[in-house]
Structure 1
Amino acid sequence: MSPVFDCRDEAQLLPGMRQARQAIGRGDLVVLPTDTVYGIAADAFNPRAVQALLDAKGRGRQSPPPVLVAGITTLRALVAEVPEPVERLIEAFWPGGLTIVLPAQPSLSWDLGDTHGTVAVRMPDHRITLELLEDTGPLAVSSANLTGKAAAVRVSDAQDMLGESVAVYLDGGPSRSGVASTIIDATELVGDVSGPIVRVLREGGISRAALGEILGDLLEPDPRIRAAADDDESQASAAAEQTVEGAPE
């Protein structure tokens, strides 16, 4: 069976981190704790390892994994540009539960799947994972679960689903939040554009309201509110038509 290291125990932390680094270097998979949910990690620059990650989850190339980084310096090396509004988001929410999609640096030699020239990047707020990232460099990391199953909030959850497909399990205890990160698409901030151009792809640990405090009008309006407004307008229009139809000639 794949080894599990309780990283809350200093006697297990050092050998666990050593084996995790070695596994990443070999192109194997590692399960690690984050501030949101447990993640399954692979060397972002090893296409075979990234494909193994997708296979372990039962996911296709059309769902490329995000990349975790140790800080904004690494982010700048991975993306084509870091727009000023994204700088503000990073200052407010990193490290933390915000994943940002930006155009990828075109000179990079990697294959995360069908990314369409973009990359989703996050800096996690977890000591163990940040330490590992400092040693390994960027890691392709997705939630440590089978596609369609609930995200793992304990290392045992990940073990039950992923088993021997993972070389090393790092146990950091129950996830602090158990809530996945919020994902935003900021690709349209790169270039000369105007209007509400940052979209929330998934609302998670960072609320839309908190994003709006930083981005203002750059944040696309909540489509649920717009849909409700359209529905109210349709109902009002239907009521008006009924009134006209029922009025005396």
Structure 2
Amino acid sequence: MTHAALRLGATPADLAHAARLLADGRLVAFPTETVYGLGADARNGAAVAALYAAKGRPSFNPLIAHLPDTAAVRRHVIWTDTAERLAAAFWPGPLTLVLPLGPDHGIAGLVTAGLPTLAVRVPAHPTAQALLRAFGGPVAAPSANPSGRISPTTAGHVLAGLGDRIAAVVDDGPCAVGLESTIVGLDGPPTLLRPGGLAAEAIEAVLGAPLARPAQTETPTAPGQLLSHYAPAATVRLNAEAAKPGEVLLGFGPMACDLNLSATGDLAEAAANLFTHLHSLDATGRPIAVAPVPDTGLGRAINDRLHRAAAPRP
């Protein structure tokens, strides 16, 4: 028999309840500045297996471990000077670093999908911070949605997709950034593994050098690399100047459309609106046409998500 997830608030008592559920091996969704994450104790193999099952996520697709600060991160990975520079510049925030596992990392093998590296992030959202500190350990947390579908930016999105498969969701309103974190691999030359809520140009400015781009492989080396991902149930057509009969149009900039990512052409506003607007248009049951978005700054991450949403479904 399945039960609907508890809807908790962001009070200290509710966060203590959420932390106890995590400690008991249960699944708890919570807000970050990027999207809502689905949390499980990253040291508990059974809990992580339940997370993969709840999402329907392929077990070869690794997860991100969330921790409250750099000191906590360093207990699980081999830290480097480059990691220190990026962490000092961008943590807490929408940046994930992939580093070699430390000798006594304690992380369940399913989190890393058997890889010798771990993706780690220190989220900036105060409620995520408070939950991580209340829990006191690493929390594996992919986006809180069925695998491959549109990422959730509200607790309502989480409950609609996973409400009968998880223990609770911590509801603290909509997410501000609205795009998943940028992922940089540091187990070799600094490499952009996934564009996201932090522009690659900002990272490159701190490094003083361009980020490498990964070779294409069939098996993901970081989350969010599957070709078909972030997808609505409806088909998605990109670079549309107007809607065809029967379509709904997701616009950008000043134009006639059903919903607009940003009527003023602001890429940060567009990123924050992307998944929320896709959820709304998908609810119409009609095919979705999407206007062109500039491929610069945060536009690269927006276009990455749109191309994966429009890719052929497996």
Give the TM-score, by structure 2 length.
0.64
CA contact (8 A) 2:182 2:199 kept: yes
2:282: which partner in 1?
A: none
2:61 corresponds to which of 60, 63, 66: 63
AA paired with 1:118? T
1:228: which partner in 2?
A: none
Query: Which is greater in Rg?
Result: 1
Indicate the larger mover: 213-222 or 86-95.
213-222
Matched, 1:209 2:201: yes
Structure with greater helix percent: 1
Residue 16 of structure 1, CA deviation: 1.7
2:128: which partner in 1?
A: 129
Residue 148 of structure 1, CA deviation: 1.2
1:28: which partner in 2?
A: 26
1:106: which partner in 2?
A: 103
Deviations, residues 198-243 of structure 1 (Å, cap 9, x unaligned): 110111111111111011236226999xxxxxxxxxxxxxxxxxxx
AA paired with 1:177? V
Q: Give the alignment of 1:78-93 within 5 angstroms.
A: 78-80=76-78, 82-93=79-90
Q: Structure 1 pair 209/218, CA: closer, same or farther in 2 (3 Å)?
A: closer
RMSD over equivalenced CA pairs, Å = 1.9
Unaligned runs of 5+ in 1: 8-12, 189-196, 225-249
Unaligned runs of 5+ in 2: 216-294, 296-314
1:94: which partner in 2?
A: 91
CA contact (8 A) 1:29 1:167 kept: yes
1:120: which partner in 2?
A: 119
Residue 21 of structure 1, CA deviation: 1.2
AA paired with 1:74? A
CA contact (8 A) 1:99 1:120 kept: yes
Residue 107 of structure 1, CA deviation: 2.2
AA paired with 1:150? I
Work out which structure has the larger RCO, using CA pairs closer than 8 Å and 6 or more positions apart in sequence.
1
Deviations, residues 174-203 of structure 1 (Å, cap 9, x unaligned): 111111100011111xxxxxxxx1110111
1:236: which partner in 2?
A: none
2:271: which partner in 1?
A: none
- The number of aligned residues is 211
AA paired with 2:97? I
Q: Secondary structure at the match of 2:208?
A: helix
CA contact (8 A) 2:34 2:94 kept: yes
Residue 37 of structure 1, CA deviation: 0.3
Matched, 1:200 2:192: yes
AA paired with 2:149? K
Matched, 1:220 2:212: yes
Q: Structure 1 pair 62/186, CA: closer, same or farther in 2 (3 Å)?
A: same
